[in-house]
Structures are given as structure tokens and as C-alpha cells.
């Protein structure tokens, strides 16, 4: 059974999505959205318990009320996994942060997803490498 729902997004993002749909050969937006959701859910199912190290790169609009504080709070909640953070001002409105992290993939993906779910975050992209750490 198919269910309908609405999605709101910025005009530029929708135009980019429409180009993506054409380039990838999808017949319509619904087909593309279903495919992207399936891909994301399959990645989430595949959580590993391996130790990983890598980065979480985020781009966000720092003018969104309370967003900077929420991002700081999230980083404090996950501080034991954060090695360091580098903050760059891209434009007057947008900032980029690269957060170097170490921990289990499941926890770090949860961290990334919580950041990406905040209003005003344009991108939250994890890049992890499985590592063999001698913690002794």
C-alpha cells in the first residue's frame, strides 16, 4: 500500500534534486525519494560495533535562532568521542565545522544524525575508517 505525504524544501535544493532525478534516470520524485530512503535505512541497519575514527563535516546557517547552542550542546553530550573541532566561516550566513571523532560507528552515526536533524543544518556528512586500537 502506498501512502502520500508532503515534503517542504528550499527552491534551490528542489532544483538540484530534480537534476539528480534526471541524471540518475528516475521516472519521478517519489521513485527517487523511496530509493534514497531505502539506501539510508539500509545503512542504518548495517551499524557496526567496530571502533572507527574519522570526521563529521557539517555546514549550517548560524543565523537560525538557537542552532549554535544546540550544536554546542550535542557536542558536549558526545564529548568523550570528540578529538577536536575546527570551525570555518564560509560566508556571512554559513559556517563549516569539521569534527574529528573516535568511537563505535553506531554511536558516531547517532551523533551525526542528531546534528543533521537540526533545523538550519544543510549537511552532516560522516567519514569513518575502521581502526584497530590498542587501548591498553
- What is the Cα–Cα distance from 130 to 126, expressed in whole angstroms? 13
Per-residue pLDDT at 67:
96
Per-residue pLDDT at 48:
67
Which superfamily does CATH assign the domain made up of 51-130 to?
ACT-like. Chain A, domain 2 (3.30.70.1150)
Per-residue pLDDT at 25:
85
- Per-residue pLDDT 10s for the chain (136 aa) are 889 999 999 999 999 999 999 988 888 999 999 988 887 776 666 566 678 899 999 999 999 999 999 999 999 999 999 999 999 999 999 999 999 999 998 899 999 999 999 999 999 999 988 776 555 4
Domain ranges in the chain are: 11-45, 51-130
- What is the Cα–Cα distance from 115 to 49, expressed in whole angstroms? 20
- Identify the three-state secondary structure at position 83: strand
Q: What is the pTM of this model?
A: 0.72
10 Å Cβ neighbour count for 63?
12
- What is the Cα–Cα distance from 85 to 110, expressed in whole angstroms? 18
Helix (H) or strand (E) holding 109: helix 105-116
Specify whether the CB–CB gap between 56 and 99 falls below 8 A.
yes
What's phi and psi for 131, nearest 5 deg? Answer: -125, 155
Per-residue pLDDT at 37:
87
What's phi and psi for 51, nearest 5 deg? Answer: -75, 135
- What is the Cα–Cα distance from 86 to 50, expressed in whole angstroms? 25
- What is the Cα–Cα distance from 7 to 26, expressed in whole angstroms? 18
- Identify the three-state secondary structure at position 47: coil
Q: Architecture of domain 11-45 in CATH?
A: Orthogonal Bundle (1.10)
Amino acid at each position: 500500500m502506498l501512502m502520500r505525504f508532503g515534503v517542504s524544501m528550499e527552491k534551490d535544493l528542489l532544483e538540484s534534486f530534480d537534476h539528480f532525478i534526471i541524471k540518475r534516470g528516475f521516472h519521478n520524485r517519489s521513485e527517487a525519494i523511496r530509493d534514497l530512503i531505502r539506501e539510508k535505512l539500509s545503512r542504518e541497519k548495517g551499524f557496526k560495533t567496530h571502533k572507527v575514527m574519522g570526521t563529521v563535516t557539517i555546514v549550517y546557517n548560524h543565523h537560525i535562532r538557537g542552532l549554535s547552542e544546540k550544536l554546542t550542546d550535542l557536542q558536549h553530550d558526545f564529548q568523550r568521542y570528540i578529538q577536536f573541532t575546527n570551525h570555518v566561516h564560509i560566508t556571512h550566513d554559513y559556517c563549516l565545522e569539521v569534527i574529528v571523532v573516535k568511537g563505535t560507528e553506531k554511536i558516531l552515526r547517532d551523533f551525526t544524525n542528531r546534528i543533521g536533524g537540526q533545523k538550519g543544518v544543510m549537511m552532516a556528512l560522516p567519514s569513518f575508517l575502521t581502526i584497530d586500537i590498542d587501548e591498553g
